[in-house]
Amino acid sequence: QQNVQQSPESLIVPEGARTSLNCTFSDSASQYFWWYRQHSGKAPKALMSIFSNGEKEEGRFTIHLNKASLHFSLHIRDSQPSDSALYLCAVLSNTGYQNFYFGKGTSLTVIP
Amino acid sequence: ETAVFQTPNYHVTQVGNEVSFNCKQTLGHDTMYWYKQDSKKLLKIMFSYNNKQLIVNETVPRRFSPQSSDKAHLNLRIKSVEPEDSAVYLCASSYGTGGYEQYFGPGTRLTVL
């Protein structure tokens, strides 16, 4: 079964900082990688995805994927207080059932 | 804008009771899911339902069962709740199985006394 781990568990950064969130997975055949953001008391909402090795940028957010290292990350440039939320990484497993496996999340707090 | 609707928002019940949660999506998706989010915020897939094919996570106890009338609705029934069932239950939908984005509902928080 897919094992997805996130680090750090929590992070406090000042407004304007660059923030990096990490996710590792265990199934080298995984093909789809997503980041979701969940504000307190709200539904998780998809932020960004990447399907092949490399980097993808959308506004202040960048995803890096390195399948050989079983690692992908989310980088937030110019962090804003509105970015304060739980960030969940999700990996689609290709072994057994094709379902997403989520990490336990990184709780990000951006201080004004 | 909410397009995946869940009822109720909260439910408090006692051990051994039966509960049902409803989920409806208005996105025209053909795949729906139920997830359990525990107190540590870990999201675990329970069921996925696509074109009348049910895929069950083998770790889900048999007292849990999904019920679907059409591809826009996927309800969750728990036959005899236990204290460890206390959690937030999240419904989601997507265009299909595979790597598609999943759209989540706001969740139903279950407390078992």
Q: To which residue do tokens 């890096």 refer?
A: A64
List residues of chain A with CB under 8 Å from any CB of chain B: 31-32, 34, 38, 42-46, 49, 51, 86, 88, 92, 97-102, 104-105
What residues are paired with A46 via a beta bridge?
A36
Q: For residue B92, count CB atoms less than 10 angstroms from its CB and return exposed for 0-12, middle for 13-18, buried for 19 or more.
A: buried
* Residues facing residue B42 across a β-bridge: none
Nearest-by-Cβ selection for A32 from B43, B45, B99: B99
Where residue A97 falls among pLDDT bands split at 50, 70, 90?
low
- Residues of A whose CB is below 8 A from B49: none
CB pairs under 8 A between A and B: 49
In this prediction, residue A93 carries a pLDDT of 79
What is the percentage of chain A residues whose pLDDT exceeds 70? 96
Q: What is the pLDDT of residues B13-33, one digit of tens each?
A: 999 999 999 999 999 998 999
**Count of CA atoms in the C-beta half-sphere (13 A) of B81:** 21
Cβ–Cβ < 8 Å for A6, A101: no
- Residue A77, pLDDT score: 97
State the pLDDT confidence band at B43, using cuts at 50, 70 and 90: very high
Cα A34–chain centre separation: 6
Question: pLDDT tens digits, residue range B50-99?
Answer: 877 887 777 899 999 999 888 899 999 999 999 999 999 999 999 887 78
Distance (Å, rounded) from C-alpha B88 to C-alpha B107? Answer: 6
pLDDT digit string, tens, across residues B78-89: 999 999 999 999
Is A105 in Cβ contact with B42 (below 8 Å)? yes
